Structure formats: C-alpha cells, structure tokens
Structure 1
Amino acid sequence: MRLPVARPVLPVASPHAHRDRLRDALLSEDNDRGLATGWLPGRLSGKGRALAAELGRRRRDDSIHAVFASDLHRAAETAAIAFSGTPIPVLHDWRLRECDYGERNGMPAAELHEHRDRYLDEPYPGGESWRQAVHRVRRFLDDLPLRWAGRRVLVIGHVATRWGLDHWIDGVRLEDLIDADFAWREGWEYRLDEAHDRLDRTSALPQRSSTSTPPAANSASRSSRVTAGAQLRRS
C-alpha cells in the first residue's frame, strides 16, 4: 500500500541527526550538542532553519495536498518554516513522534544509541521500545486513506517515523533497520495501494519475533503516494 494519493508523497523531515550523521538533515540545537532529544521539544539550529526553508522551496510546488508533522516542537518548527504563507494545510500528529527514551531523553546520543538493539522490544526506562514507536506510525497509516486517499502528502517526522514507513509499507524487518546505517537523500517516496498494503488493521501489536515481518492487510481503495523528505535524524 503506497501511501494514499494517486501518488501521495510523504517527505519525512527529521529535525535531528547523530550517529549516522545526516549531514544535510534538519539539525537541532541538541544535535550540535550531541544530545538525543527523544520526546523533548527540541529547537532547530540556525542551519536547521535554513534547511527547513530549503525543504519548503523544494516541496511547496510539488502537488502536495497536506503536510503531516510530528507535534514535537522541532518538527512543528520545520513545517512552519517550510510551508509558511502557503495554502497547504499542516496537521500535527503525536503518532509521528520520535521513540520515547523515557528517563534517557536528552542524554548524550552516542551513549544512548550504543546498545540500541537492546530496546527493539524492551522499553527504555520510563519510555517505549522501538517496536512500540513504529506501531504508532502504523496507526497513522491506517487513518490516512480515510481523508487523503488518492492524494499526495508529505510527512515531517523522525527516525521512528521513517522506520515505520519502511517496515509497514516496504516490509523491511525492524531487526534489519535497527542496525543499518542511515543513507541520507533529499527524499523518500512510498505508495499505499492494493498491491502493496502491509497494514493489518485487525491485529494487535506486532509479535516480538526476530523473524517476524509485517502482516498483509486490507488496502485503500485508491493508490496514495507518500514522500519522505530529507531531514531525518536520530534524536
């Protein structure tokens, strides 16, 4: 299922980067300090604001029908800068948030992510696991065709957001994503359609099996395209 639009575009912009260093990603002040923002609000750095403006120049005339952004400040700030003065609606959704590191939000990123694979299924103390964060993204994808089927949309989120798209739409195992290097580019595009729909609206949380893959699911009646735009960071 490639996101809802006769080709929806889901550009995912993430206001931070670390470890895998998205050098052209939207950078936050915490990135400059080497901190993992997680569920803390965060703020874009000067370079991050310039990159947000560039995102707007690239995408505002790209037939985008709606922009969906994480409600964390750094993502909302990205959307506000990129699409200010345009008629494109910007909708904030908490399900697009980064993984919640709980008591470890704001700690040094290198230390936090050194053993990230331990938290694929085990929640961070006071927070959530990566699998739980990715499951939130699936709920967002479940709802998207209800209003935006056949439309092109753009998503501004975080690492957990992009992993959710890769997992639920392209069928990439989380076990592979959690150890993979992040290859940055200006955007990613995904489609929600009958031939490639991996969203299971009837299942509970995905089973915690190292060999599990996203289940097949019902599909939207019309194809959609989601573009994930460049600015993904690990924060």
Structure 2
Amino acid sequence: MSVELVYETHSITEDNEAGIATGWLPGRLSEEGRRLAVELGQRRPASGFAAVWSSDLARAVETVELAYAGGGVPLHVDARLRECDYGALNGCPVSELRRVRLDHVDVPFPGGGQSYREVVDATAGVLRELRRDHDGERVLLVAHSANRWALQHLLDGTPLEHLVTAPFDWQPGWEWTLT
C-alpha cells in the first residue's frame, strides 16, 4: 500500500512580506496570508484528507486553523516539521541568510542552530510515522521551505545542496506517493 502525501507551505507572513527569515521565531500571518489560508481550505477541502499535520510554529498552526478549523479532519501539530533553526540568524534578512545557506547543509547555524541535514532527519521521522499510521490514506502536511527541501531530497533524490541554493519556487502544493 501507500500514503498519498500533499505538502503545502504555511501561508504568507508579515516577515515574508518584509524579507525576514523567521526561522524558529513564531511569525504571524499577514492579512494576505490569512486570506490565502482560508483559500487553502477551499482549494484542498478537509474531506479530501484522513489527517492534516502541521509544524508547531505559530505561522503554520495559524494557517491550518484558518484552513481547517471545524472541518472534521484530525489535526496533528508536530515539532519535527519546524523550519530550520537558524540560531543567531533567526529573524535576519533573507538576503543575509541566502548567502550562507550552503555552508549549513551539514554544519549547524551558529548560536545553537541546526543544519539542513537535521531538518531532513526530522522530516524523515515524520514520513516513517505517516507510512505506519496512514497506509492507504491521503494526508496533508503544512510546514516550511526547509521541510519541502527535505521532502524533495528524500522522495525525489534532489541533492540538498542544490535545493538550499535554488530560488524559492512557490506553487500551490506538491504531491508524492509514499511507498
């Protein structure tokens, strides 16, 4: 059997609009982000999923709550779906972070941060659980860019080094089949 996995990034935040790399800071959806979160629930109705899994960071939780509150689908909030912890760079300008991403594929960000490889490992743990608990079902994950890169690395085989240096490539969701 298999799991149909649908992935969406959290909705647009005030930090996104200001060019700030939020990292492990909570972040808050912007007015446009709140509108798009409601649209997510319309575009991908709760009835299409056995469960919705979300990062525990506020911007992802807010996205899921606006999209699916009262929708009757089980919601799971999981810290393993957090954005990469940029350590001392949490909250820095995206332009500053972009310059050093490649340096932190395997080496944690300074100031108690983590590496992108650690995000891959955490995301892999979620995938193992999804395979075990949701065989034959369709599941939605709502998280962050680092988790999308982790999924592309784990499920498509794309080198992590390529993903962290590529321009952000938003689209209305990604889909995979977990076997």
TM-score (norm 2): 0.94
- Determine if contact 1:69/1:79 at 8 Å carries over to the other structure: yes
How many matched pairs?
A: 178
1:135 and 2:100 are equivalent in the alignment: no
**CA–CA separation in structure 2 for the residues paired with 1:183 and 1:62:** 27
Structure showing greater relative contact order (alpha-carbon pairs closer than 8 Å, 6 or more residues apart): 1
Deviations 1:126-181 (A, max 9, x none): 10011111111011111112211110000000011111111111111112212222
Identify which of 97, 114, 132 aligns with 1:112: 97
Aligned counterpart, 2:137: 151
Moved over 3 A (4+): none
What is the CA distance between 1:62 and its match in structure 2? 5.6
Are the equivalent residues in 2 in contact too, given 1:96–1:160 (CA < 8 A)? no
Partner of 2:164: 178
2:9 matched residue in structure 1: 13
The 5 Å alignment of 1:19-98 reads 26-60=11-45, 63-98=48-83
Q: Within 1, Cα distance between the matches of 2:25 and 2:59?
A: 9
- Provide structure 1 residue ranges, at least 5 long, that are not aligned to the other structure: 15-25, 194-235
Percent of pairs with identical residues: 47
Q: 1:186 to 1:115 in 2, by over 3 A?
A: same
In the alignment, the residues of structure 2 paired with residue 39 and residue 179 of structure 1 have an alpha-carbon distance, to the nearest angstrom, of 20
Q: Conserved in 2, the CA contact under 8 Å of 1:12 and 1:161?
A: no
- 5+ unaligned residues in a row in structure 2: which ranges? none
Offset from partner CA, 1:163-214 (integer Å, 9 cap, x none):
1111111111112212222322212100111xxxxxxxxxxxxxxxxxxxxx
- Which whole-Å CA distance do the structure 1 matches of 2:97 and 2:166 have between them? 16
The C-alpha deviation readout for 1:67-121, integer Å capped at 9, x for no partner, is: 0000000000000000012101110011110000011111112112222111111
Q: Hey, which of these two has a bigger chunk of strand by percent?
A: 2
TM-score normalised per structure 1: 0.72
Q: Distance in 2 between matches of 1:165 and 1:127?
A: 20
Shift of 1:61: 5.1
* Aligned partner letter, 1:173: P
For 1:58 and 1:41, locate their aligned partners in 2 and report how far apart those are by CA, in whole Å.
25
SS in 2 for 1:87: coil
The counterpart of 2:153, out of the listed 154, 162, 167, is 167
What displacement does 1:9 show? 3.2
Q: 1:107 to 1:183 in 2, by over 3 A?
A: closer
Larger radius of gyration: 1
Tell whether the 8 Å contact from 2:7 to 2:148 is kept in structure 1 after alignment.
no
The secondary structure found in structure 1 opposite 2:139 is strand
